[in-house]
Structure 1
Amino acid sequence: MKRVSLFFGLALDAAEPWARQTASVVGLALALLTAWVMPSTEFVIPEAAWAAVAAVCLITLAAFVVPWAKLPHGWRLLVPLATMLAFGVFRMGTGGPQSLFTSLILLPLIWIATEPGRRNAWLGAITSSVSILMPYLLGVLPWADEQVVRAAFTPLIFLVVATVVNELARRARAQVEVAKALADERAKRLEESRANEAALAASREQHAAAEAFFRSLWEAKLHAVMAVTDNDGTLIEWGPGGDALLGRPRDEVVGTHRFTDLVAPDSLEAIGANGPSGFGRFVEAASSTGSAGLSAEMLRADGTLLTVRLTCSPRHDASGEVVGCIFIAHDITELKEASRLKDEFVGGVSHELRTPLSSILGYLELAQDPESGPLTDEQRKYLGVAERNAHRLLTLVGDLLFVAQVDAGKMPLKRARLDLGDLLDTSIERLLPTAQRASVSLVLERSETPLTIDADPVRLGQAIDNLISNGVKFTPAGGTVRVSARRTDGHVVIAVADTGMGIPADEMKRLFTRFFRATTATRQAVPGVGLGLNITRAIVTAHGGEMSADSVEDEGTTFEIALPVIGSSPGDGPGWGERGTASE
């Protein structure tokens, strides 16, 4: 941005020397025109006058051709200084103190005075003094001439003029800097405003697109009930799935119903959510089930029930404060029916398989009876293989029937007070031959103080057998399976730890899933169908206990069963001792 000139059209910033020299050239041209028009004006020393004119022309030419931009800025002052001296010679040639053209000296003086710095004002004043005193300095006029006083006084006036111009130029330059800074700031703010407007417009477009997208998803969710509530449970938004699955349109329920008003009373009662604080308890139950969801029944408009899997998530405002809940309920009627049919099928098939398997085992036993006739060694071997596989198949059928009973909630338990140590002894004795054949050490650590529990000895024995059997099966020869029992906070904890192949960390969450087998087991072709741990946990859960597992791949696995203990005082301390090992 070019700055505004203040005096004689001269720019205050770094204008080109030829542009600033224009004022001096124009002034000299007017002087020559005046001398030509006014015959009374005479060139007292024509040679000096025309020499000065020639000098100004050469100086002006230099102002055009010299590459001043490549030189330090101070070098530009040579142009006005030389011009001022040339005007002094021109004044001397046109009458000296009597010349009409003394004022020409002001033109380059003003150029010099407009440059930044007080020294330039003094430099211009000193040069103007030299120019005015030129006749005396060159001996054209004697110093005794009375006009010398005038010649000495005029530079003082020029110094005042130069100082005033220099100060005005400084102030004008400062004002221009402020104006430029304000203009730059305004341009910056304007650009920021335009950028903000563009960003806001883009944000509005994105918001509108996102809103349309989520609205489309919301309206397309016809296979699930989606609801939004405030902290009191009052519905503030209701998805179209509520109308499709429950026959309840949005206008009918929003603002007039709480979400729990649409849940069957039996489902609320099952989780204790039918009291004054029922909604909070319902939210807690639905949230604590995680991704699996809460199984519940919702009321259709016609009074029938819809079985759903329901999840709940908190709804936050812009500050992060919880202001309500978001419920999603998926219809699982068909899934529940399919599961029921599957369980019925497995139970039915398993039940039907037991009869022919029992018959097969009976006939195999008869075939191996000496009274049925002599058998060769090879025939006995074949019959032994068939009998072992039949027993294995019968065990599998029994497991499938047990799983079906668990799923149907019909696990029969015949509880009795029993000493856990005796139960562990029985399991160890039962599996000791298996451990010996596998060259695995089986170690029992039991409390010297009896640990009495209320449990079904058959089912709990089955659970303990499953864990010990798995430990032996998944431990290589030379390894150890260690069984122990201890009391902890009103519970007795049974631990079975092996030094086997372990379970990968990313598979631990699926460990108790039906038919799940770890990759470490499948890689080494360890036989099994993946029902043992599922059955064991079901038995433990039925006894009111908890089951956990910890494993490190290639180092071993530890399973723990925690059961309520009775008949012992808190002061009884465990005293451990080892008994019976099976080694290679």
Structure 2
Amino acid sequence: MAVARFMEQFDIDSPPPSIKQAPIAIAFAVGLFLTLIPGIGIQDLGWAVSGIALLVIATIASVIVPWERIPHFWGLLIPVVSLLAIGLFRMGTGGFTSIYSALILLPVVWIAAEEGVRFVVFAMLAVVATQALPFLLQPGLLSVDGQIFRAFYTPLVFTLAAGIINDLSHRLRLRVRSAEALRDEKQTLLIESEQRAAALEIQEARLLEEQAFRVSIWNSITGQAVIETDLSGVVRAFNPGAELMLGYTAAEVEGRMSALKLIREGQFEERSLGARTRLALEGNETPSGAQVIDALLEIVDPATLWHYVRRDGSELPVQLRVSPHVDSDGNRVGFILIAIDMTASLEVSRLKDEFIALVSHELRTPLSSILGYLEVLRDELEPLGEQQRRYLDITERNVGRLDRLVGDLLFTSQFAAGTILMDATTVDLVTVLEASVEAALPAANAAGIVLELAVDGEIPAVLGEALRLGQVCDNLISNAIKFTPHGGTVTTGLVLRDGSVELFVSDTGVGISDEDLEQIFTRFFRSAASARNAVQGIGLGLSVTHAIVAAHEGVLGVESEEGVGSTFRVTLPAADARGADAGGAAGAADADGGVEGVEGGGAGGVEGVGADAGAAVRGAGAV
């Protein structure tokens, strides 16, 4: 390890001159030691000492000179001076016969190991100069037989060796550089990996923290039953609130039970009647869990009560919301059902309904007396003056209004208590709707609103009370007129859809906000548009309408967009289709209440009534 740390100080590609000079100095020192052996000693002390001095100078220079600040080429002076020193020492120890001729190889290796073929030539010249040094200093040696060939043959061998060394050095240098590049790349990758690992650790810590936070929130939701399912309806998550409400443990239902098993048997089928989108079944095909929950997405109404079945078989009234569960790519992966226990709310509502029913009942008796005595006054005080008659008209009108209000309160209270007794008969909705349109024409004329009627073909009768169904038509049409500005249009009509009769009322009015849509059928609720437009009322109209429709086993729905208008749809089972399975859609209604595929000439159109003052009633096909 110490050697490795020591070597890391130097550039492997080009070590400093002191490192390269060390083998030469060591070999020279060994040669000096060998001169002590008899027969190998120094023959000419002057030349030998000169060589020794030059080598010492070159070695010291290789150590103390700051070569890193000097151009690299100047470092080659050290092996050149060393060659000269070896040549002088060689002359002092026998010349051509000296055993120290081998020392020439070390400086030659230094020079030849440099990058480039030119250093092979440089090494050759240095060897030739070293070999020729004895001839230059002692010209008489040229006459000795064979010495001149030695002067040229030895440099040739050294030159060949230098070429091989230069090539090997070049190859080694390429490998070293490649290894260094690979090392640097690995080091970079290692650093990046460490950084990514650190980032992943931080992210993992955050995810664990967020997961713990979500789990704590999930476990703290005990007032609501939250159930997550897969696409087939099988429960994947069952929160503590669901455990408390339903009596099951998460282990009992997760991955084992369909969420649909928790809904009271038959309730889905009851609620799906009249839904705009139904399960499209062929023959006796059974709908999948995904199909059923898809249908739930459309028919679940926050104002409608649902019933869960507890583990012990008892029923739990809940307010149910269903929404799709999507992944990060927006693909649906399941559903989320959120249920709120309505037991306490229903008890409060029951007490409130009892109070309202009691007060309404107590109010109805004196109202009946007042109306009776008003009739007596008209009959017994004749002739009445114009002012007296006007006072009586105002009194009767307001008493009648109060009587209708009390009647609505009683009806909604009875509906909530489940004590309504419907005297159902066969009702022709076409006739009922025509009467409501005719009654609404004066108000539409006064407001400068076009009132249109469209009946699509033959409409079958429904079972119910004509008076209450007329109230539904009156409430929806009068509401549409109230919230439609001057010059707007209110369209109402009937269409046969999937074996059910659909009544629609569409307007080009102010529309309803998404927040208000959730409470639009709640008793005493008044929308923001009512306040802005100073529309009179106490928020009972749509609540009564919803109750009447529900009492007729129908469905009341609404579609609205602020600034565009609203469309209310009432779907009632046809008198001859009670209990029939829902079929495919026979047509579709436009978002603004128009009817697609309706051909002209429908029956029951009211035409030309009250056509003055900017109002009109048109027959089928005018939509």
TM-score, with structure 1 as normaliser: 0.70
| Correspondence for 2:437 | 428
Closer, same or farther in 2 for the Cα pair 1:161/1:573, shift >3 Å? closer
| Correspondence for 1:319 | none
Closer, same or farther in 2 for the Cα pair 1:225/1:136, shift >3 Å? same
- Asked whether the equivalents of residues 306 and 333 of structure 1 are also in contact (C-alpha less than 8 Å), the reply is no
- Asked whether the equivalents of residues 402 and 411 of structure 1 are also in contact (C-alpha less than 8 Å), the reply is no
Q: Which amino acid aligns with 2:613?
A: S
* Cα shift at 1:469: 0.6
* Cα shift at 1:361: 4.7
| Correspondence for 1:106 | 105
| Correspondence for 2:566 | 557
2-structure distance, mates of 1:551, 1:460: 23
2-structure distance, mates of 1:550, 1:239: 33
Q: Which deviates more, 454-463 or 508-517?
A: 508-517
Q: 1:44-443 maps to which residues of 2 (within 5 A)?
A: 46=47, 50=50, 53-54=53-54, 57=57, 61=61, 64-68=64-68, 71=71, 76-85=75-84, 87-88=86-87, 91=90, 96-116=95-115, 120-121=119-120, 123-136=122-135, 140=139, 143-145=142-144, 146-163=146-163, 165-166=165-166, 169=169, 267-268=264-265, 288=296, 294-298=306-310, 300=312, 305=314, 307=316, 309=318, 332-362=342-372, 371=381, 388-409=397-418, 410=420, 412-418=422-428, 420=430, 422-438=431-447, 440-443=448-451
Q: Which deviates more, 24-33 or 151-160?
A: 24-33
* Cα shift at 1:461: 1.4
| Correspondence for 2:16 | 16
2-structure distance, mates of 1:96, 1:342: 131
* Cα shift at 1:470: 0.9
- Asked whether the equivalents of residues 487 and 574 of structure 1 are also in contact (C-alpha less than 8 Å), the reply is no
| Correspondence for 1:583 | 613
* Cα shift at 1:305: 3.8
Q: Secondary structure at the match of 1:579?
A: coil
2-structure distance, mates of 1:324, 1:520: 36
1-structure distance, mates of 2:443, 2:185: 89
1-structure distance, mates of 2:208, 2:60: 68
- Asked whether the equivalents of residues 449 and 490 of structure 2 are also in contact (C-alpha less than 8 Å), the reply is yes
* Cα shift at 1:134: 3.0
Closer, same or farther in 2 for the Cα pair 1:383/1:299, shift >3 Å? same
Q: Are 2:42 and 1:41 equivalent residues in the alignment? A: yes
Q: Secondary structure at the match of 2:492?
A: strand
Q: Which amino acid aligns with 1:298?
A: R
- Asked whether the equivalents of residues 502 and 557 of structure 1 are also in contact (C-alpha less than 8 Å), the reply is yes
| Correspondence for 2:280 | none
Q: Which amino acid aligns with 1:441?
A: I
- CA deviation string 1:88-128 (max 9, x = no partner): 45545766424454333222222234445666455434422
Closer, same or farther in 2 for the Cα pair 1:17/1:367, shift >3 Å? farther
For structure 2, list consecutive stretches of 5 or more residues without a partner in the other structure.
Answer: 271-284, 327-331, 577-585, 588-596, 615-623
Q: Which amino acid aligns with 1:583?
A: A
* Cα shift at 1:466: 0.9
1-structure distance, mates of 2:192, 2:469: 75
- Asked whether the equivalents of residues 453 and 564 of structure 1 are also in contact (C-alpha less than 8 Å), the reply is no
Q: Which amino acid aligns with 2:105?
A: L
Q: How many residues align?
A: 559
* Cα shift at 1:217: 7.6
TM-score, with structure 2 as normaliser: 0.67
* Cα shift at 1:473: 1.1
- Asked whether the equivalents of residues 228 and 336 of structure 2 are also in contact (C-alpha less than 8 Å), the reply is yes
- Asked whether the equivalents of residues 223 and 341 of structure 2 are also in contact (C-alpha less than 8 Å), the reply is yes
* Cα shift at 1:235: 11
For structure 1, list consecutive stretches of 5 or more residues without a partner in the other structure.
Answer: 317-321
* Cα shift at 1:345: 2.6
- CA deviation string 1:256-311 (max 9, x = no partner): x9899x989xx4466689xxx999879957993769695134354xxx84636498
- CA deviation string 1:493-550 (max 9, x = no partner): 4433333222235544443344333322222222223332233234334445444433
Closer, same or farther in 2 for the Cα pair 1:60/1:356, shift >3 Å? farther
- Asked whether the equivalents of residues 548 and 561 of structure 1 are also in contact (C-alpha less than 8 Å), the reply is yes
* Cα shift at 1:428: 2.3
The one of 468, 471, 474 aligned to 2:477: 468
The one of 493, 496, 501 aligned to 2:505: 496
Query: Structure with the greater relative contact order (CA < 8 A, sep ≥ 6): 1 or 2?
Result: 2
Q: Are 2:451 and 1:451 equivalent residues in the alignment? A: no
Q: Secondary structure at the match of 2:428?
A: strand
1-structure distance, mates of 2:554, 2:612: 30
Closer, same or farther in 2 for the Cα pair 1:2/1:368, shift >3 Å? farther
Q: Secondary structure at the match of 1:133?
A: helix
How big is the alpha-carbon RMSD for the aligned residues of Structure 1 and Structure 2?
Answer: 5.9
2-structure distance, mates of 1:31, 1:537: 119
* Cα shift at 1:457: 2.1
Q: Which deviates more, 277-286 or 146-155?
A: 277-286
* Cα shift at 1:474: 1.2
| Correspondence for 1:528 | 537
Q: Which amino acid aligns with 1:471?
A: A
Q: Which amino acid aligns with 1:111?
A: W
